[in-house]
Structure formats: C-alpha cells, structure tokens
Structure 1
Amino acid sequence: MRRYPKAKERRVSAHEPEVQKSRFAVLRAAARSGIILTLLFLSLFCYLFGSLYQLVGHTHNLNVAFVDYDGGLIGDAVRQAYQRLRGDSFPTLIEHPSGQYPQPAALRSAVCNIDYWGALYISAGASDRLATAISDAQAAASYNRSDVLTWVWNEARYPTVIDTLAQQITALAEAARVAYVQLNGTGAIQSLDATSLAAVEAYSNPWELASINIQPTAQGSRLVYNTLVIVLLLIQEFFFLATINGLYVQFGLFGRLKPRRMIIYRFMISGLYTLAGSICTTGAIWAFRAEWQVNGSQWALTWITLWLFAHLNFLTLDVVAVWLPPPYVPMGLITWVVLNISSILIPFELSPAFYKWAYALPAHACYSVLIDIWSGGCNPRLGYALPVLFAYELSSGTLSAIGVYRRAHYAVIAAEREEKSWQEKIASAIADSGGASAPIQGAGTAEGVEVAKEEDVESSAYPQRKSSAESASDREELAGRIWRATSQMTLGQSSSQRKDSLGPSFTLG
C-alpha cells in the first residue's frame, strides 16, 4: 500500500532455509499454545457449567422453616399442598413446633442468622377467624386476609435465587387455598352467608400471602453484584499491575533501587490505587441503587470491603505474575477469574458438593461480607469471611515481597548479560576490522562507544597517534561496525527487558 512504502523493503523469500526453519518453529509454538489454551478453556467451561449443573434439581437443598401457630384447618391445607408440590425442584419445608419459636420474631431471627433461607408461619387463630368471616357478615367486613400466612425472607441474600424461592412459596400458598376448599368444602358452603359479599369473598379468597422482607433488593443492578462487579475489579487490578511493571521496566527500577524500598513503594501505590478504585465502584453501586434502602455506614463498610478485596487481588495476581512463566500469566488470570466467579454465582446449596471447596476463595468471602453489610448483619459469616480475606492479604503480600527480590535479582543478571553482549559485539566489530585499532577501554558500555568516537577524532587530528598502516577508511569502517553492533543491541534491549520483567507489563511513553 502507498501509505506504508517500507512494508515491502528488506524482505526475504519464504523459501530461504532460515525462513523455513523459523516458520516451522512458529508453527510448533502456535500449535503448543493453541492446545494449551483449548484445554484450559475447555476445563474452565466444564468447571463453570458443572457448578450450574442440574440447578433446578438441587432446589430441595434450600430449607424453609414452617411453624403453625394456629393448629387448625389452614395448617392441614398447607401440609397437603406441600405433599403435592414436594420434589427435587421444590424447597424443603421443615416444620417446627410453636414452642421452639414462640413468637414470629424468633423466626425472623432464624432467617437473619441464615439457619433457613426463609420461614413460613400461620398466625394464631387464623382458622377460627376465617370460619367466622365465612358465616358472619359483620365479621367478614373486618376480616384481614393478610393475617393468615406470612413469608419471612431476606432478598439481599442472592436476590435472583431468593426471588425464585419466593415465587415457589407463593405457589404453595395458592395450592394450600385449593386444598382448604377441598378439606372444608361442604362445611364452608353450609355455613356460608351468601347474602354478604364480604363473606363470599372470604370464602373464595381466604388469604393473601403476607411478606416480611428483611432487606428488599429489587433494583436492576443487583444482577451484577456477584458477577460483573467482581470480574471488573479483578481485571482492573491486572491491568494496573501490568502498568506498574511496565513503568518499573521502562525506568530500570528493578536494577537500580533497593528491594525493600521498592516493596514499600509498590505497597503504597497499590494501596492508593485500590482505594480510589473501590471508592469509584462503591459510588457507582450507590448511584444506581434506585429504591434500595441502604445508608452511609453501609456505604463506608462496602467501600472498605471492596478495598481489601481489590488490594489482596492485586497482590495475588502479582504473585502469579512472578512465579508463572510470562506466556502463562494471562491463563492464570482467566483461571483466577472463573474460579472466583463460580464461587458466588449461586449458593453452594444449588451446586454439587465438590464446589464447596470454594469457601477458600476470596470472592466468596467478600460477597458474604457484603451481604452481611447490606442486610444489616443478617448473614453472620464474618468469623469465616474476614480471616479468609486477611489470610490472602498477608500471604500474597509476603510472596509478592519475595517476588520483588526475585525481579531485582534477575534484573541485575539481565544487565550483566546485556553488558557482556555489548562487549562481545564491539569486540567482534573490532576483530572484523582486522585488529588495526587498539582495544577501546570500556568497550562494553555506551561510554566506551563515546570514547571510541573521541579517540577516532583525536587520531584524525593527530596523525602521530595512529599506526602507519591505519587509514581513514579503516577508521570509518570500524566506527560503522561499532555503531551497527550497538544499534542492534539497542533494538533488542526492550524485548530483553520485557522477558526479564517476570510479569505482565505495559510500557508507557
């Protein structure tokens, strides 16, 4: 193309032996990487899909407490309806005597303490009030349909899952209404005050399921709290880590500063960056919270939790970047992302038992803390979640600090190797010139090149300093060889630095 005239210059034939050798090497490397990536992504897909395998069939692992404070016909109707709906795809209803939970507030505490995913109870005297409303017009006028069956739940705890559970409990209440008519059909019809519209309505629609939602969470953004929010935080830390490594390589800091000072600087920089990132993330969540009832204290706690989670992931990804070969670092990132996301997509009750090992992953611990914050303490897992988060912070911080020493060590080795290569290139250039010139002091460095230039100028100014066999063309040829050799070293310097950076790096400027 005319816009890129140099694109076709200095090209060799594809049939050249060296090109064919390089081509086969490239094909082998590409095939190896392709096989590894294919197997990796196949494994990740299988792991992710396995966590969701037979999701509906595990619904029976969601336990719901049931207490009948009434002890009448309505309780029998609920039991009969549950027996019809009972199955692997329906939550398990566990009935308790009223003495175990004397007041409905005790059931709310049980749900808040995550003993159950929800609780269903029948108000005391509900059957008698319904029977009176059917037969007495005056009682029917004051009959409260919402004071019969009550559903207690916490929508902040995996909102999409708990919403489906609430729909199934609503279906149970509807089925119980049909069962009530079947159990008390003849008696209700005989006692029905047909002259009262309120009595007829009480008979046809005896109750409406009341709801006690500990923390309503109906905003649309709730769908990504346990998915995209976590994914973007992880990717954000990876890119910033690559940027920091690129700056360290670009300015040669690994080979110049003391490791202890670099550890302190990296910890401070990463701490400030994750501080700002977590503030922005929390601010975005609050900006689009809609009618979500959360306060300033919950905002601060959410910010601190996300800050800790972001920083420990920066350190963990830094450890991955240090100890994995550079070509495999992106593979480590995607594996880390998929493992963490799979641990919080759905509750472990809906996954095969194998996936419970993910209690040890920071994303699950972080989301458990967030649920506790958002629902006002109704997810008491801080005793497990906080130690997991701090364990990652400490262990990854320690390994990351060791990684700085490792980088500094190999940076010095790379510098020594580069200096030796400079010396060999310049010595080779001098040797190729016929050895006419004397060895140049410090030829292996950039200063040596400058000295060579100065000596070349001096020799032309003072002919007595050069041998009789040396000519101007020899000097020019020698200088040209030296500059060509040093230019090749300069071109290969960036790739050498990137190879020895031991991690992802983006060079800026």
Structure 2
Amino acid sequence: MSESYSQENSYQERMIDKSEAGTSAHHATAPVITPIILPDAEDKPFSHGLFDKDPGTTAARKGWLKISILGVLVLFVMIWGILPIYWAALGRSYNNIHNLSGYVVDFDGGEIGQAVRQAFRDTTGPQQMSWLILDAAQFPGGPDEVAQALLDHRCWAAVTVNPQASTNLNASINTADASYNATQAVTAYLTSGRNENIYRADITPQVTSILTIVSHTFALFSSQRLASRSDISTLLQIAPQLVIQPLAFTIHDIRPFNVPVAAAVDYVGLIYLLILAFVLTNQLLAARVESGFEKRLRLRPLILLRLLWPVTLYFFVSLMYSLLSLAFGVPFSRNFGHAGFLIYWMMSWCSMSALGLAIESMITLLTIKFIPIFLILWIISNVSVAFYPIEVLPAVFRYGFAMPFYNVSSTVRTIIFDTKNEIGLNFGIQFSWILISCITLPIFQWLVRRRQIKALEASQRAAREKA
C-alpha cells in the first residue's frame, strides 16, 4: 500500500510538471490536478491489535490503562473508606448489648421474687442487657403499667414477678392443688416489632436463658425444702409439677413482628427506593443534556426545574412503590385504618425526595462519572443504622437518628406494629434533608454554570482569534 501510494504521488507530480511546462510554452490555460492524499492504513479505526506499537494505539492503550488503574484505586478507597461503616455496624454490635436496658419489677415480694431479682442482678457483662431492678411502688398500675413502659420505649424488655406468686405456690403445696399453673408466676414482655433483628439475635435468647436458669435453680431449692415433708409422696402423685417445676414463666410479645413481608418496607426495600431515585436522577440528567434544554435555560429556571420536576415525579413513583407493598399483603390498616396507607405513601414520597434530591445535588459536582461513589456512601450510611438499634452500635453511629432510612423504618413500624408513635419527628427529618438539598443544589449549579460560561467565552475568544 505504501509503495503504490508513493508511485501515485510521483505520477501526479510528473503530471503537474508537464502541465506547468505546457502552459509556459503555449501560453494556454490547462487544468491543475490536486494531489490526492490517501489515508495511512495504520490510522484506520477498527484495524489494530491490542499490543500494536504505532503512536495512536500506544497513546490510546496508555490512556486506557491509566483510567482502569485509577478506577481500581477508587474501588480500594471505597472498600476501606466506606464499606467498613456497615461492617462496623454489624461486627461491633454484640459488644454494646449492655446499652439496652431491661426492667425487672417484683410485685410478689416473696421467695420467687427474690430468686428472680437475684438472677437478673447477677447477669452482667458487655454482651448482656443492663437489667434495672425497680421497686414495684413505681408502677402502681401493676404489670400492665410495666408493659406500657416498654411500649413507650423506656426499656427493651420487662420482667415482672406477678402479685401473690409465692403465696399461690405455697397455698397450692399445702392443699396439693393439681391445677396450679407455674407459668403465671413470672411474665416477660417483649416488643419484637420494634426491631426484629435484635430481638431474634439477642434479647429473646437472653431473657429466655435467664428465666430458664431461674426456673431450674428454684426447682432444686424447692424440692430440697419439700423433701422433709411427710406428704411429699402425695404431692408427687397428685400435683408433681409443684415439686418438679414450681416456677415457670410466660413470654408475652405485645408487639410481635408477625408480618414477614414488612421487611420489604422497613429495611431491605429502602435500598430499592434509593436505587429508584438514582435511576430517575440519571434519566433526568440525560433528558436535559441530550435535548439541549439545559444549555438553553437561564440559571434560575434551571434550578427550579431540577428541584420541582423530580419531586413531582417522585410523587407518582412512590405511589407505585407503595402499591406494590399493598398488593403483596402489607397490612397498613392495622393502627390507623385506611389512613395508614396514605401515611406510608407520603413518607415514601418524602424519603424518596430526601434521598433523590441529595443525589440530584451531588451529581452536579461529581458528574455521572463519579456519582456512584456518593451513591455507595449514601446507601451504606443509611443501611448501617437501620438493621440493629442504634443503641447497640458504636457511638459514632448516633448520626443514624437523623438519616432517612431510620426514620422511614420508624414510621413503618408504627403503622404496622403499633410501636411508639414518632411519625411527626420522622417527617421532620425528611423535610430537613429536602431543605438541605434546596440550599446546596442551587449553589452547586451556580458554580457549574460559572465554569460553563467561562469555558464558552474562552472558546468564542479562541475562535475569533483564529479567524
């Protein structure tokens, strides 16, 4: 190809020389043949190997390698700088179980109450709940008032030694009452709907373990005491439970996590809500750029477009998202009737706006190239405080009380499981995030617009100078 190309040029040069010579000799006008420059085969697109050494391929290969390595280094930074947030939230929680308090209230005042109080008093350690032995006088309403303290989130579990527990046991022993029900002596109150993960992993096993040990220990003590009685054989024949198991307990989960599909709306589904907001943000960016609409708008209308249009779309997207949960049987009407679904929809709308506008704001500075870094940080920082109670996480995770995920989860649990109502506060947190984005997005867009104007002016100036 190179040889034929040289021959073609030589031929054209000879033709030009002849033409010029003929023009001088005959003083006549003749057409001039312009040299044709054929493209070098080495510069053709789609025609190179991976390790070709021509200048173009070499430069492209170096650029590709540089960008690839930079991408891996960014991933390394994300792995060690962002992912540890989630690992720390799960991996350190067991060392902070002592931050969860439990109430032990003795309404009995007898030997059963003494045994239960002592058992919980001896249970200590960083991986054990902190049990508070409280005077029954603080709860004049009896065990029901203790249960209400649990519903008010003043503690995470409550154990009551019920009134007359020891008296009823001794009376049953004296009369050999076969109808004696040992499980009525002690009641443990739980609310797993508040956070099913911590109850399943720690609280319920600890309460059950301690009370089981108390039951066995008290049975040994009671059987030794009854061994000297002359009617022990009668007791064993008529009411053996009075000797074998005089003390038992009842676990009463007053707000049980009995809707498995609720996990799709109080934890896992929140990730999908954020991803939907991210996808919509990318689509809106592409719509503005590819249509050229963004370059035609002044700064003020552009900012209004970027704030109001996404929120409008979130309204309908959050409705579809909420209807999906309703279609799969999430019982939103348990606590607030039909208004429960409306509250959930509005919370989904507000949280999607809080999550999505933050991405809308950050993508202005980071661009589509680096926004995934913020997305990972945004997901991890939210998810880490929604799986376990913040009380059992390291102190740095106290920020979670102000995160969108945590507050959505709190609202969902109130709607479905009738936990403590903090819906007003939950909405307030979402509005705060929306307000932050309403402040930061205009600032970021103003900075970017200034940079765009300067680049445009420089381009125009260069074009004038070239002309």
Report the TM range for the smaller structure's normalisation: 0.7 to 0.9
Check the 8 A contact 2:350/2:427 in 1, yes or no.
Answer: no
Check the 8 A contact 2:344/2:412 in 1, yes or no.
Answer: yes
> Which digits, 9 at most, give the CA deviation of each residue in 1:136-155, with x for residues without a partner?
24x432x3334221122222
Equivalences for 1:98-247 in 2 at 5 Å?
Answer: 98-102=136-140, 103-137=142-176, 139-141=177-179, 143-164=180-201, 165-189=203-227, 190=229, 192=232, 194=234, 199-247=239-287
| Alignment partner of 2:134 out of 93, 96, 117 | 96
Equivalences for 1:267-306 in 2 at 5 Å?
Answer: 267-289=307-329, 293=334, 295-306=337-348
Check the 8 A contact 1:68/1:75 in 2, yes or no.
Answer: yes
Check the 8 A contact 2:100/2:129 in 1, yes or no.
Answer: yes
> Which digits, 9 at most, give the CA deviation of each residue in 1:243-283, with x for residues without a partner?
01101111111122344434444444322332233233333
Distance in 1 between the 2:365 and 2:110 partners? Answer: 67
1:396 aligns with 2:432: no
Q: What amino acid sits opposite 1:170 in the alignment?
A: T
Displacement after TM superposition at 1:235 (Å): 1.0
Distance in 2 between the 1:21 and 1:160 partners? Answer: 54
| Alignment partner of 1:340 out of 369, 372, 382 | 382
> 1:209/1:281 Cα in 2 relative to 1: closer, same or farther (>3 Å)?
farther
Secondary structure of residue in 1 paired with 2:256: coil
Distance in 1 between the 2:327 and 2:183 partners? Answer: 35
Displacement after TM superposition at 1:346 (Å): 1.1
Distance in 1 between the 2:245 and 2:322 partners? Answer: 45
Check the 8 A contact 1:130/1:206 in 2, yes or no.
Answer: yes
Q: What amino acid sits opposite 2:434 in the alignment?
A: E
| Alignment partner of 1:24 out of 62, 67, 70 | 62
The Cα RMSD (Å) is 3.0
Displacement after TM superposition at 1:22 (Å): 2.7
Percent sequence identity over aligned pairs: 21
Distance in 2 between the 1:202 and 1:280 partners? Answer: 59
| Corresponding residue number in structure 1 for 2:79 | 41
> Which digits, 9 at most, give the CA deviation of each residue in 1:423-469, with x for residues without a partner?
999x7xxxxxxxxxxxxxxxxxxxxxxxxxxxxxxxxxxxxxxxxxx
Distance in 2 between the 1:290 and 1:326 partners? Answer: 36
| Corresponding residue number in structure 1 for 2:29 | none
Q: What amino acid sits opposite 2:165 in the alignment?
A: A
Displacement after TM superposition at 1:372 (Å): 3.5
Q: What amino acid sits opposite 2:215 in the alignment?
A: R
1:261 aligns with 2:298: no
1:250 aligns with 2:284: no
Distance in 1 between the 2:98 and 2:234 partners? Answer: 42
Check the 8 A contact 2:160/2:188 in 1, yes or no.
Answer: yes
Secondary structure of residue in 2 paired with 1:15: coil
Check the 8 A contact 2:266/2:408 in 1, yes or no.
Answer: no
Secondary structure of residue in 2 paired with 1:279: helix
> 1:325/1:256 Cα in 2 relative to 1: closer, same or farther (>3 Å)?
closer
Extract unaligned runs of 5+ from structure 1: 1-7, 428-509
Distance in 1 between the 2:411 and 2:251 partners? Answer: 25
Secondary structure of residue in 2 paired with 1:218: coil
Distance in 1 between the 2:328 and 2:234 partners? Answer: 52
| Alignment partner of 2:100 out of 59, 62, 69 | 62
Secondary structure of residue in 2 paired with 1:71: coil
TM-score between both structures, scaled by the size of structure 2:
0.79
Secondary structure of residue in 2 paired with 1:151: strand
Check the 8 A contact 1:114/1:380 in 2, yes or no.
Answer: no
Residue range with higher mean Cα deviation, 159-168 or 401-410: 401-410
Distance in 1 between the 2:325 and 2:79 partners? Answer: 31
Secondary structure of residue in 2 paired with 1:94: strand
> Which digits, 9 at most, give the CA deviation of each residue in 1:56-75, with x for residues without a partner?
33222221101000011112
Distance in 1 between the 2:439 and 2:383 partners? Answer: 25
TM-score between both structures, scaled by the size of structure 1:
0.73
Distance in 1 between the 2:99 and 2:348 partners? Answer: 30
| Corresponding residue number in structure 2 for 1:11 | 47
Distance in 2 between the 1:245 and 1:277 partners? Answer: 17
| Corresponding residue number in structure 2 for 1:360 | 402
1:81 aligns with 2:81: no
Displacement after TM superposition at 1:401 (Å): 3.6
Check the 8 A contact 2:267/2:409 in 1, yes or no.
Answer: no
Distance in 2 between the 1:186 and 1:350 partners? Answer: 41
Secondary structure of residue in 1 paired with 2:137: coil
Extract unaligned runs of 5+ from structure 2: 1-43
Secondary structure of residue in 1 paired with 2:138: coil
> 1:204/1:289 Cα in 2 relative to 1: closer, same or farther (>3 Å)?
farther
Check the 8 A contact 1:80/1:176 in 2, yes or no.
Answer: no
Equivalences for 1:420-431 in 2 at 5 Å?
Answer: none
Distance in 1 between the 2:443 and 2:323 partners? Answer: 35
> 1:74/1:290 Cα in 2 relative to 1: closer, same or farther (>3 Å)?
farther
Displacement after TM superposition at 1:422 (Å): 8.6
Check the 8 A contact 1:282/1:303 in 2, yes or no.
Answer: yes
| Alignment partner of 1:312 out of 354, 363, 377 | 354
Q: What amino acid sits opposite 2:386 in the alignment?
A: I
> 1:232/1:307 Cα in 2 relative to 1: closer, same or farther (>3 Å)?
same
Q: What amino acid sits opposite 1:269 in the alignment?
A: W
Q: What amino acid sits opposite 2:245 in the alignment?
A: N
Displacement after TM superposition at 1:302 (Å): 1.8
Q: What amino acid sits opposite 1:187 in the alignment?
A: R
Displacement after TM superposition at 1:20 (Å): 1.4
Check the 8 A contact 1:123/1:148 in 2, yes or no.
Answer: yes
Displacement after TM superposition at 1:175 (Å): 1.0
Check the 8 A contact 2:347/2:427 in 1, yes or no.
Answer: no
Check the 8 A contact 2:222/2:246 in 1, yes or no.
Answer: no
| Corresponding residue number in structure 2 for 1:378 | 420
| Corresponding residue number in structure 1 for 2:391 | 349
Distance in 2 between the 1:333 and 1:369 partners? Answer: 24
Distance in 1 between the 2:238 and 2:308 partners? Answer: 70
Displacement after TM superposition at 1:407 (Å): 5.5
